[in-house]
Amino acid sequence: MDPLLNFQGQVAIITGAADGFGRLLADALAYRGCKLVLADINEELLAAAVKDLREAGGDVVSMAADVSDESAHKSLVELALESYGKLDIAVNNAGIAHIPGALHTLDAETIDAQFNVNLKGVFLGMKYQIPAMLSNGKGHVLNVSSMAGLGGAPKAAPYSAVKHGVVGLTKTAAVEYGRKNIQVNAICPFFSPTSLLDKGGFTTEESRAQLVMGSPMKRMADPQEVVSAMILMLSPANSFMSGQSVAIDGAMSAW
C-alpha cells in the first residue's frame, strides 16, 4: 500500500463513530489496516457499525459512551490499551447541532449542551488520550471543529463559540506536546449533508440551498470529501503538520 495511505498496525479512537463523518472515517481507516476503538452515544447505530466493519474484515472494538462524561474517556483509552496495547490516533469527532436562532433568543441550556459535548468532550478526550500517546512515544489527535470555529456563524452563536474553543484547545495542545512527538490538528468542514444538518433544523431543500448560496462552489461538502481530508491529515507521512485548523470549505474562507 502507498505509505501515504498505509495505517497498518495503527490504533485509533474515534468518537461519534456511529454516523456521519465518524462512521465513514471508521470505514476508511479500517480499509487501510487501522485497528479501531469506536465510541458513540447511540448504542444501536454503533452496534450496526461494528457489525458491518467486522464483516468487512476490520479489527474493531467499541463502547457506548457520552463524550461529556469524563469517566467514559478514561474507559475508552483503557479499552484501546487492553485491546491493542497502544494508542496512535484519536479523532474527537462527536458533536451536536442546535436549532438556529439569533443570540438573544437562545436559552442557557443550549449553550450548556454545546459546551458539554462539543468543547468539554474534546478537552476530556485529549486529557486521557495524550497520556497514552506519551507512553507510545508518538500520536496524532484530530479534533473536529467547523467553519463556524474559524468565523462567525449567524444564528449559531453557541455552536460557533465552542467550535472556536476547539481551535484554541488544538493550538495549545500542539504547542504543549510538540516536543513529545504528538501532533494535534483540527479540521473545519463547511456544511455537509449528514444527520447533523437535520438535527440543526435544515431539513428542507430550500433551507439547505440557502446555506450554500454565498459559497464559491455553490454546494455542500460531500461527507466523503471531508473524510478524505481527514485521512490525508492523519496520514503517517503527514508528520510535521501540527497546531493547524484546516478549512475544508470549497474556498468559503478565501472570500
Ligand X SMILES: NC(=O)c1ccc[n+]([C@@H]2O[C@H](COP(=O)([O-])OP(=O)(O)OC[C@H]3O[C@@H](n4cnc5c(N)ncnc54)[C@H](O)[C@@H]3O)[C@@H](O)[C@H]2O)c1
Catalytic residues: 159
Pick 138 or 171: Cβ nearer ligand X: 171
Q: Which residue number, 7 or 21, has a Cβ lying nearer to ligand X?
A: 21
Burial class of residue 169, CB neighbours in 10 A (0-12, 13-18, 19+): buried
CB of 32 to ligand X, least distance (A): 20
Residues in contact with ligand X, shown as a per-residue x/- string from 119 to 158 under the rule CB under 6 A: -------------------------x-x------------
Q: Which of 42, 110, 228, 253 binds ligand X (CB under 6 A)?
A: 42
Q: Does 66 bind ligand X (CB under 6 A)?
A: yes
Q: Which of 7, 11, 12, 22 binds ligand X (CB under 6 A)?
A: 22
Kindly state whether residue 67 participates in binding ligand X, applying the rule CB under 6 A. Answer: yes
Q: Supply the minimum distance, in Å, between the C-beta of residue 137 and ligand X.
A: 28
CA distance 33 to 160: 35
Least distance CB 18 / ligand X (angstroms): 4
Least Å distance, CB 11 to ligand X, is 19
> Binding segment for ligand X among 29-37, 83-91, 190-198, 236-244 (CB under 6 A)?
190-198
Q: Which stretch binds ligand X (CB under 6 A): 2-10, 53-61, 75-83, 188-196?
A: 188-196
Site membership for ligand X, residue 245 (CB under 6 A): no
Pairing verdict, β 11-15 and 35-40:
parallel
- Cβ pair 216, 172 in contact under 8 A: no
| CB-nearer residue toward ligand X: 193 or 236 | 193
Binding of residue 194 to ligand X (CB under 6 A): yes
For binding to ligand X (CB under 6 A), which residues are involved?
Answer: 15-16, 18-22, 40-42, 45, 65-68, 93-96, 117, 144, 146, 189, 191-192, 194-197
